[in-house]
Structures are given as structure tokens and as C-alpha cells.
Amino acid sequence: MNELRNRQVISSLLEIIAHKTATLSNLPIRIMEVCGTHTMSIHRHGLRPLLEERGIEMLSGPGCPVCITPDAYHEAAIKLVSTNSNIILATFGDMTRVPTRVGSLQTAIPAAGSQVKIVYSPIESLNLAKAHPEQEVVFFGVGFETTIPSIALCVKKAKEERLSNYSLLSALWIIPPPLRAIVSSQDTKIDAFLYPGHVSAIIGEAPYQFLADEFNIPGAITGFEPADILLAISSLLDLIKKGRAEVINEYRRVVAPQGNPQALQIMAEMLVEKDAFWRGLGYIPQSGLKLKDNYQEYDAEIKFSLEISPEETHLPGCRCGEVLRGKISPSSCPLFGQACTPASPQGPCMVSFEGACLAFYKYDYQN
């Protein structure tokens, strides 16, 4: 599959894109890449300026789960581990570095016998619970549809194995609702979407159809190699030219039209939708998931009576919220590259490997 990064292929695709935009009025064409992994890939392969020269402006979207999780969740996790003894708070690495008003999980001082543990897979958190029956293991699970089935499956296994010292602090978000919120707000002009490849591997094509039907915006599901991204953009330009809004799938090698039935089944069995608060976007109806009532004993919010009331908080000056809506580019934030760097991030968008600020900093920022 080396073709997907082959220079000749990339330059051919760029040439085709230039041909197509040359016939369009209304430039620049603005395309939102919803997913943070797309953002990273676009920057890493230097596609952004190349596309800009050809009349296409790429906007980063809300597709970085670490970035959109409000501070209140982190603050609750910090409080949990610093005021309760014998807790193992397990979470993904990026989550430990998000700065809040009360510090980060990395700087938190755990209570006696408690600790914060970085895991790569939710399975590891389950194994921790088995290995440490005398401690409470709380998995601070964050993710979109890509990760949610795996997290849910761990809770299911915990119940099957009657593990009573395991629970989930859930920061689970679903992708289609914020897209509705973004286009409805009319904050930014968006001509087309690149839909996230691995979220789509789970949910399939249908959940994006409303953007075509109700908002007349075309979109393409695509993979993460440069050729995948350019191929999708090329197909989107055809749709724009014809004035047709459709959902197309350029990642059929991974994404089946109906998604992943087993994964969807696990989600439906264990989780219910709830209104949820997104950083930068506020409350969005039915945009988050929580465990169903019959799994309540595994819900850390209930088990430890956590009070999480999210609001729009950020360290002074951080404009992550606007970055996540595609309203400003990271370099328009006055702290970018100054007070805010990967070594001392002032907001989650500079922490996460998928954060737009980090992507800009790593690949486009010259001192």
C-alpha cells in the first residue's frame, strides 16, 4: 500500500485537485476535517499549504476527544484520586496532562494508597482491577465511537466476572450531533466535510446523511494516508461542482456501509444517550453516552457521588473552544507558541496528539 504515500501519486492528485478548483467560483472551498487524526496527517505530510495554493482551506473540527472533554471531568478525576485512598485512576496518557484550574492529573497529589496510572488499552484497566482486588480501579475513559465499544466491553466483562472494584468515569462522545451544532450555528462557512475513518468503521455511512439532506453539505469518509485524504477531496470537488450533496465512502477497505454490527450491538446494549457539554460547543442534545441503569454499579459518577457540572472554563487566554469550532486557526491564539507550547500547554488542544494546536506547532510553526 505504498502508493498511498507515493510522491508521484500525491502530486498527480494535487494536480487533479488544481484542475478541479480552477473551474469553480466561490474559492476558497472550505473543508472541515472532523477528526484529529486527519488534522495530524494533513499537517505531518505538509498538505495544508499545498491545498491552500490550490484554493482549498482546511478547517479543523471537534474530533479530538481529549480536547472537547470539559475541565469539569478532569477536575472530578483529580478530586477523586486526591481525596480518596486506595484508588487506582487509570486513563490514556493525554488525559493526564490536560491543564485545569486545579492542575492536571499529572500534577495532582494522590491520597494515601492511591495513584494515577496510564494505560494504552481499556483492557489494561480491567487487568489492574483483577490484580488489585483490595483497591478500587476507576477507568477514566474518554473517546468517540472508535473507542466506546472497547470501553463498554470492559465494563461488560467486569460484570460477567463479578469484579466489584471496577468502575468507569465516562467521557464518551458521539460525533454526528456536534456536526449538526456546528452547521446550525452558521459560525463558519463549510462547503464539505471529511468524515473520520475510524469512527465511521463503527457507525457506517448513514449517520452523516442528515448533513447532505438537511444542510446540503457533501462529505466523504476517508482514511489517513495522504492519498486517501486527497482522493476524498477530489471526489468532494466533483460533488460541489455538480451541486450535489451526498455521503461518499472513500475508505471502503475499512469502512463497511453499515459499520461494525458487533460494536454497535455492544453500544446499544450497554449505553444510553444523554445531553452532554462539549468544550467550545456547549450543551448538545443526545451527544454523550452513559451506562444504562443495569450497569449503574459500574458508573464511577454514581459509585463515588461525583458532581460533574461542566461549564465553559479554560485557563486565561486559551481559545481552544474556538479552534474546535473551526472558527479560528491555532496561530490566531495570542498564547500560541508563546505561553502555550507542548512543554507547557495552556489548553487541551496543545496536549493531545490529535489537538489542532499541537499539530500546527509541530509541523507548521517556525520560530
Partner 1 sequence: MCLGIPAKITELHSNKQGKVDYLGTKVQVDFSLVDEVKINDWVIVHAGFAIAKLNETEAQETMALLREYAQFVSTIDKSKKQNE
Give the residues lining the site for ligand SF4 (CB under 6 A): 317-320, 323, 330, 333, 335-336, 340, 345-347, 349-350, 357
Q: Which is nearer to ligand SF4, 208 or 277 (CB)?
A: 277
Closest distance to ligand SF4 from the beta carbon of 2 (Å): 34
Compute the distance between CA of residue 327 and CA of residue 324 in angstroms, rounded to an integer.
7
Under a CB-based contact definition with an 8 Å cutoff, are residues 180 and 286 in contact? Answer: no
Q: How far is the CB of 260 from partner 1 (least distance, A)?
A: 6
Q: Which does 12 bind (CB under 5 to 8 A by kind): partner 1, ligand SF4, none?
A: partner 1
Question: How many Å apart are CA 91 and CA 141, to the nearest integer?
Answer: 6
User: CA–CA separation, 54 vs 28, rounded Å?
Assistant: 9
Tell me which DSSP letter residue 250 carries: S
Provide, rounded to whole angstroms, the least separation between the CB of residue 110 and ligand SF4. Answer: 26
Phi, psi of 348 (to 5 degrees): -65, -25
Residue carrying C-alpha cell 466476572: 161
- Cβ at position 172, least distance to partner 1 in Å: 12
Residue closer to ligand SF4 by CB (options 282, 317) is 317
On whether the CB atoms of residues 64 and 352 are closer than 8 A, the answer is: yes
224 SS3 class: coil
Give the CB-nearest residue to ligand SF4.
347
Closer CB to ligand SF4, residue 39 or residue 167? 39
Q: How many Å apart are CA 317 and CA 336, to the nearest integer? A: 10
Burial of 169 (0-12, 13-18, 19+ CB in 10 A): buried
Q: Among residues 257 and 342, whose Cβ is nearest to ligand SF4?
A: 342
**How far apart (Å, rounded) are the C-alpha atoms in residues 148 and 174?**
9
Q: What is the nearest approach in angstroms of partner 1 to the Cβ of residue 307?
A: 26
C-alpha cell at 69: 472533554
Residue 47 binds: one of ligand SF4, partner 1, none (C-beta under 5 to 8 A by kind): none
State the nearest-atom distance from the C-beta of 93 to ligand SF4, in Å. 17
Residues of this chain that interact with partner 1 (CB under 8 A) are 1, 3-4, 6, 8-9, 11-13, 15-16, 35-37, 63-66, 92, 94, 120-124, 142-144, 146-147, 149-150, 153, 196-199, 201-202, 227-228, 231, 250, 252-256, 260, 262-263, 266, 352-354
Residue 99 or 110: the one with the smaller Cβ distance to partner 1 is: 99
* DSSP state string for 277-307: EETTTEEEEEEEEEE-GGGGGGBHHHHTT--
Contacted by 330, from ligand SF4, partner 1, none: CB < 5 to 8 Å by type: ligand SF4
